[in-house]
Amino acid sequence: MNYIFYFLIVISIIAGAINGRLSDVVNAILSGAELSVKVAFSLIGIMAFWLGMMKIAEKCGLISIIAKIIKPITKKIFKEIPENSPAIGDIAMNFSANAFGLSNAATPIGLKAMEELQKHNIDKSSASNAMCMLLAMNTAGFQLIPATVIAVLIGIGYKNPTEIIAPTLLVTSIAFISAILLAKIFEKIWKPQKEETCSNK
Amino acid sequence: MFQQIMQTISLWALPAILLLILTMGLIKRIPLYETFTDGAKDGFKVAINIIPYLVAIIVAISMFRASGIIDLIGQVFSPVLAKLNIPADTIPIMIVRSLSGSAALGVFSDIANNLGPDDYATKLSAVMVGSSETTFYVLAVYFGAVGISKLRYALLVGLLADFIGIVAAVLVCNFVF
């Protein structure tokens, strides 16, 4: 991540200078910083709502019921996490919310899963294998219906916007499965976590 | 038919989850209101925790986009991609979709509006945008929430999967459309 951070900023400055867009690049700092805070603040309300709901779901045992149902799958994918951890139920809810395009619910629930995974993490500043797996599942963006894209297509008068669904679903499934497999492969070949050991990327 | 079923499920998924959680909480005699507010307290904390990570990523990406380098990369690669039957218009989407969701959607809207519904580029970019999630944003938010700064292989896996997604989109669209 250190290199990518450096690379993004330095390349931007150099390319901006060459393209004569240096002032745009400088302005982007302010607009980017503002946007970050906007994004974070817009999350507060919905985050509070879902964290509240998930607390009830956890207390009444709903999360552990869900965790039990999907245990055969999660046992393979998330080996290090104890079967009775609420993380498993949270991850299942996060995945379902993503699949149905409820990203408002998916993010807060995913973050709660992240906090549960952090409890099992041996080095609190680096990502555990389970965390990398949860990330892989989320960055692959598995979704049954690409609602926003369909809305745009309808907007331009696309005759049959639903014909986009099947190819998209196929592509997103391929990406999702590859993400899980890749995470599994890297889990084996990457330097394992140790306390205070850094494997920067 | 399939779409109608999916729409109904999408519409009812949220209300159904809420009904289920609250009803089960009531049956188990959980103090609903107290438990809810207790859990909700963390919302603010989590959102604030994310800010430093979001600022780092979003500022860097905003600068990157403002520098015009994405067009430059596009120009370099377009002859190669043209041979693979990939329209040059879709190149910015391939680069941007891991960096910024709103930007990818913006580029897609441009393509759709300029080239119209019958163009292959519109269809290919629709599939590319619809099948992706913004890897850098997810990374910043999820790891930021728990204060993780050493990502290990997470970013690599995310970007590799994005790349596989692009290749799959090209192959599938070539075959279907």
Chain B hits for A147, Cβ within 8 Å? 10
Contact with chain B for residue A165, Cβ under 8 A = yes
pLDDT attached to residue A110: 94
Q: Which residue of B has its CA nearest to A100?
A: B10
* Every domain of chain A and the residues it spans: 1-60, 61-195
Look at the alpha carbons of A77, A81, A87, A88 in this order and tell me if their dihedral is positive or negative. Answer: positive
| Contact check, Cβ <8 Å, B158/A139 | yes
pLDDT attached to residue B2: 64
pLDDT digits (tens, 9 = 90+) for B50-78: 899 989 988 999 999 899 888 888 888 88
Mean pLDDT for the stretch of residues B147-170: 93
pLDDT attached to residue A127: 94
| Contact check, Cβ <8 Å, A168/B127 | yes
pLDDT attached to residue B3: 64
pLDDT attached to residue A196: 52
Asked if this assembly's ipTM is beyond 0.85, the reply is yes
CB-side neighbour CA atoms (13 Å) of A134: 35
Nearest to A101 by CA among A55, A149, A58, A56: A149
Average pLDDT per run of 10 along chain A, which is 201 residues long? 88 92 93 90 88 90 84 84 86 87 86 93 92 94 83 85 88 94 93 64 41
- Decide if B141 contacts A108 (C-beta within 8 A): no
CA distance A134 to A129: 9
Residue B6 has pLDDT above 70, yes or no: no
Chain B hits for A123, Cβ within 8 Å? 150
pLDDT digits (tens, 9 = 90+) for B84-141: 888 888 988 998 888 888 889 888 998 999 998 889 999 999 999 988 889 999 999 9
CA distance A125 to A142: 27
* Every domain of chain B and the residues it spans: 1-40, 43-176
pLDDT attached to residue A198: 47
Chain A hits for B5, Cβ within 8 Å? none
